[in-house]
Amino acid sequence: MPLKYEILPNTKQVNGVTLHQIRRLSDGYLGGWIEKEFNLSHEGACFIYDNACAFGDASVCLDACLYDNCHVFGDAVITDDAIIRDQAQVFGRALVCNNAHISGESSVMGLALVCDQARITGKAKVFDRAIIKHHAVVQGSSSVKGEALISGKCMIAGDAEVGGNSTISGSAMVVCNAVVDGEASVSESCLVTGSARITGNAMVSGEVVVKGNAVIGGDFVLSGNAVVAEDAKCLGEGMMTSGYIGANSRISSVNLNGKFNIFLPVTIASYEDFLMISPVSSDGECVFAYRSQGMIVINYGDFTGSIGDFLNKVNNESMPHFQKQQMLMAVEMARMKLN
């Protein structure tokens, strides 16, 4: 095998290790720095440029390249067409392959795998056994750890944390100070932002937005275009497909399969505390009733209030006779079930 570069007597110390500068034999180009020949293969188009360094038992091979001031060390492997640049660091037993790019001041370490066309940048950290693949982007000061799997075209940004055995896929975004951990999954076009947390075995999909200090946990399933915000908590084995839950609401083991809007601080702990009549209008909207602070609250569309206020609304609005009868029936059922 013909030699691609030579090791020069020029040396410098990095992390207590003596490194030697290299020179490409084909054109005399002065390259970066290695500890030993094992660090850079003579096969393929791989090379170390600028002040980039490879040392320890790290290996740069095939067509991979290091640029700028990046460091690759430990037992890390950079291969295929991968690129490491800027002040990025890859170490431990991390593997960066295919067309993945690591840049900025980011770090990839442990047994992490970054592959396909994934991008790690900013001050992001990927470690443990985390996997970043496809076109996923991890940036800002975010971190991905544990055995988390980040795939598709999703983005992890800001100070977000993703860990445990969680999965983020599709074009989902986990940003700001949001946390996703446990066995949770976030997919499709979801947005998890603010200081929201998705944990347990929770599943979030569709165009769901979880924000504020909201918590989704247990086996709760969020889908459709549901919004959970403020200090709301959705736990247990419940389900929600649309609508808004906010304030200090606590939803546990309840299926909310219609447009459900909660703006007041309520607790719905079981099916015994909750009633849904679906549908009551031609557009498929439902009437929901639940107990809050000792009273029955009726929710219909954007309306949330007492039974008396709801009856005033029904009696004063123009609507088809069947719809009015459905709503009155819903009120009577609420009184029977929740009193």
DSSP 12-44: EEETTEEEEEEEETTT--EEEEESSGGGB-SST
Q: What is the pLDDT of residue 39?
A: 98
Q: What is the pLDDT of residue 263?
A: 54
CB 13, CB 39: distance < 8 Å? no
As averages over each run of 10 residues, the pLDDT of the chain (339 residues) reads 93 96 96 98 97 98 98 98 98 98 98 98 98 98 98 97 98 97 97 96 94 92 88 82 68 57 52 62 70 80 86 87 78 78
What single letter denotes the amino acid at residue 149? L
CB 258, CB 288: distance < 8 Å? yes
Q: What is the pLDDT of residue 288?
A: 79
| Cα dihedral: 275, 277, 278, 282 (round 10) | -140
CB 114, CB 136: distance < 8 Å? no
The vertex-247 CA angle with 245 and 248, nearest 5°, equals 105
Helix axes 307-316, 321-338, angle to 10 degrees: 170
Question: In the numeric block, which tokens belong to residue 215?
Answer: 């918590």
Q: What is the pLDDT of residue 62?
A: 97
Which residue has tokens 């808004």?
244
Question: Beta strand 59-60 with 30-34: parallel, antiparallel or unpaired?
Answer: unpaired
Domains, the chain: 151-263 (2.160.10), 270-339 (no CATH)
Count of other CB atoms within 10 angstroms of residue 249: 24
Number of H helices, E strands in the chain: 2, 43
- CA-to-CA separations, 267 to 35, 274, 293, in angstroms, rounded: 62, 10, 9
